[in-house]
Amino acid sequence: MTLPPDHPPIPKPKIGVLLMNLGTPDGPDAKSVKRYLGEFLSDSRVVEIPQIAWQPILRGIILNTRPKKSAHAYSQVWREDGSPLAAITRLQAAALKDSFGPDVLVDWAMRYGNPSMSDRLTAMKAAGCERILLAPLYPQYCAATTATANDKAFKHLAGLRWQPAIRTLPPYYDDTLYIDALTDSLEEALSALDFTPDAIVASFHGMPKRTLQQGDPYHCHCQKTARLLGERMGRELTIAFQSRFGPQKWLGPATDETLVALAKAGKTKVAIFAPGFSADCLETLEELSIRGRESFEEAGGTHFAYLPCLNDSPVGVEMLRSILARELEGWVRAG
Ligand SMILES: C=CC1=C(C)c2cc3[nH]c(cc4nc(cc5[nH]c(cc1n2)c(C)c5CCC(=O)O)C(CCC(=O)O)=C4C)c(C)c3C=C
Ligand SMILES: [Fe+2]
Ligand SMILES: [Fe+2]
């Protein structure tokens, strides 16, 4: 059908899959980190203190002290292709690119920083995506991660005359595909070690404890992932929560304290991994692999191994492909 000359162009209908992760600074320097943290920590889903009280603390204290320290941490893990979190998410999107047929576009975006969700959603619309699967890459649901990523996408859609139809990827913390992928990945990494760990620590990102009482299912999702994984692997896992921030009480036990307690209890050989992160990042490569090792060894630990996230490993990508394909059912014919 030919359109009248004054009709806006209508591209061939397509489907979009948007992988969404947290975000990261553009560079490992204090200025970039300050910009990133300013956006991240101003999100009221992340810091649930009224903005009128929080912004003076954030702008007056935190953004004048933390960026320099964090920039140093980022510089220790920065790769040739950029921040690990962004580089790995980009590789995951590239690996999934041709998975769902020629009419399905796969792209990626960050909740804070670049590439921005608005940019990538605009590009998807321009390419003809009339249906979009938003995929927050967080296995365990948390308002501070999953919900805010979806919120940001919906805020962008609120400005569109012609909105695409939307689906969101549910959390997959207890999905057999995820538990199996973690099991395969961990067993391979454990069999390559030159020691047998006395303990295996599953470290999840922490959250303020009151979010559990307020009804966020994050804590329960983490516990269930660890239980299912332990059952599947036939070994006990030690669960811990990392990255405490600010003076409030956070979910525990804390990862740093757990590592020290293990070493002091004579469990001097430890392997640690972070099942809640779909990609290695500052929190795993610097906080666990560098600083975690230091505190463990200072407390008397002798053998320490950090086991990588699923990242863009074949088993990790295959798991993502399967859960995304399931969410696309009815939009894309199986095949
Ligand atoms: C109140 C503060 C924070 C909450 C709540 C929080 C929740 C949360 N975060 C992740 C995943 C990641 N966080 C990362 C970095 C990071 N997180 C906080 C604070 C909170 N996180 C800060 C201040 C930082 C920045 C680094 C620093 O200055 O220490 C990252 C890594 C980003 C990267 O660039 O590599 C991830 C990933 C989850 C899953 C979560 C709640 C469940
Ligand atoms: Fe965080
Ligand atoms: Fe719980």
Is 90 exceeded by the pLDDT of residue 247?
A: no
pLDDT of residue 41: 98
* Whole-number percent of the chain with pLDDT over 90: 95
Contact of 16 with 108, CB cutoff 8 Å: no
* Residue among 70, 37, 18 at smallest CA distance from 286: 70
Q: Quote the ligand 1 centre to 228 CA distance (angstroms).
A: 25
pLDDT of residue 123: 98
Q: Look at ligand 1, atom 4, and give the residue with the nearest C-alpha.
A: 46
**Could you read off the pLDDT of 94-148 as tens digits, one per residue?**
999 999 999 999 999 999 999 999 999 999 999 999 999 999 999 999 999 999 9
pLDDT of residue 264: 98
Q: Quote the ligand 3 centre to 186 CA distance (angstroms).
A: 24
Q: Which residues of 127-143 are buried (b: 16+ CB within 10 A; e: fewer)?
A: ebbbbbbbbbbbbbbbb
Residue 37 CA: which ligand is closest? 1
Reported for 212-219, long-range contacts at CB under 8 A and 24+ positions apart, including other chains, are: 212/251, 216/141, 216/142, 216/143, 217/140, 217/141, 218/140, 218/141, 218/142, 218/143, 219/251
pLDDT of residue 334: 59
Minimum mean pLDDT range among 16-20, 110-114, 120-124, 330-334: 330-334
Domains and their CATH numbers in the chain: 14-172+315-327 (3.40.50.1400), 176-306 (3.40.50.1400)
Q: What is the ipTM of this complex?
A: 0.96
Residue 281 Cβ < 6 Å to ligand 1: yes
Specify whether the backbone of 203 is left (phi greater than 0), alpha (psi in -120 to 50) or beta.
beta
* Whole-number percent of the chain with pLDDT over 70: 99
CA distance 203 to 107: 28
* Per-residue CA distances from 75 to 29, 32, 66, 68 (Å): 8, 12, 14, 11
* DSSP E strand stretches across 169-224: 199-205
Which pLDDT band, with edges at 50, 70 and 90, does 1 fall under? Answer: low
Residue 66 Cβ < 6 Å to ligand 1: yes
In the block, residue with structure tokens 């941490």: 73
Q: Tell me the best of 61, 74, 245, 287 to mutate to test the pocket of ligand 1, counting ligand atoms within 8 Å of each CB and taking the most.
A: 245
Which pLDDT band, with edges at 50, 70 and 90, does 335 fall under? Answer: low
Residue range 194-219: mean pLDDT, rounded: 98
Residue 284 Cβ < 6 Å to ligand 1: no
**Could you read off the pLDDT of 271-311 as tens digits, one per residue?**
999 999 999 999 999 999 999 999 999 999 999 999 999 99
